[in-house]
A = this chain, B = another copy of it.
Amino acid sequence: MKLFDAAWAPSPRRVRVYLREKGLDIDRTVVDLRSGEHLQSDYLKINPRGQIPALLLDDGAVIDDSVAICRYFEWQHPDPPLFGRDAREAGLVEAWLRRIEGDCYAAAVSAFRNGNKAFVDRALPGEWPPIAQISALADRGRLMWTAFADILERHLQGHPYVAGDGFSFADIAAIVAIDFGIAIKLADPRDRPAIARWHGELSARPSMSA
């Protein structure tokens, strides 16, 4: 088994934080995003999507998505549970996870890929036909980003963690998306008190330096 990893980018960070929380150490190869190694033929033979992370299993199958890689490990190493401890939590973790992906992380990616000269005709991450940038989509991304921060703030005023009482993968997804947004200079949501409290507590976990 081998994990294809990359520096800086949010999706591989989700997996590294998750593995650290689980105490798992997996054989890794680091792919260089800056030189475009993820879009060159050696890597595309492994993962035709041209995205990082990817997990190559011993039977040759490839799991080509960060959350899917974590769910693979969750099945094999259920403790501590990070995708919910019962049906109710499993539902709430997944609902928040999908909302973070669609409303928060997608907002940051929209702003980043459509408003950055490095991504002309590569407005979607990974291997696609040429996809033109849409500057209005960068604006929409910033609007979604702020709207989501307001929603998360109200939610965290009544809950210690994103999916409720316990730390879960929804927290990992949320903080990785938020740290990515801050890194690319979107409005810093930590000017909101509940997000500041939650972000500070989470950032103190050793896994977050992964």
Q: Which residues of A contact B (CB under 8 A)?
A: 49, 55, 57, 59, 61, 63-65, 67-69, 71-76, 84, 86-88, 90-95, 97-99, 101-102, 123-124, 128-129, 131-132, 134, 136-137, 140, 143-144, 147
| A63 in contact with B92 (CB, 8 Å) | yes
Residue of B nearest to A57 (CB): B88
For A97, list chain B residues within 8 Å (CB): 68
Q: Do residues B144 and A140 form an inter-chain contact, with CB atoms below 8 A?
A: no
B67:A75 contact, CB within 8 angstroms = no
Shortest beta-carbon distance from A62 to chain B in Å: 9
* Known pairs A95-B68, A98-B68; A136 contacts B132 (CB<8 A): yes
Task: Say whether chain A's binding surface is mostly helix, strand, loop, or mixed.
Answer: helix
Please give, as numbers and ranges, the residues of chain B lying within 8 Å of A129 by CB-CB distance: 143, 147
Assess the A90–B75 pair: CB atoms within 8 A: yes
Sample (9) of A-B pairs whose CB atoms are under 8 Å apart: A55-B91, A63-B91, A63-B95, A65-B98, A71-B90, A71-B91, A72-B90, A74-B90, A134-B140
B contact residues around A123 at 8 Å (CB): 140
Do A72 and B88 touch across chains, with their CB atoms under 8 A apart? yes
A98 to B131, CA, bound (A): 20
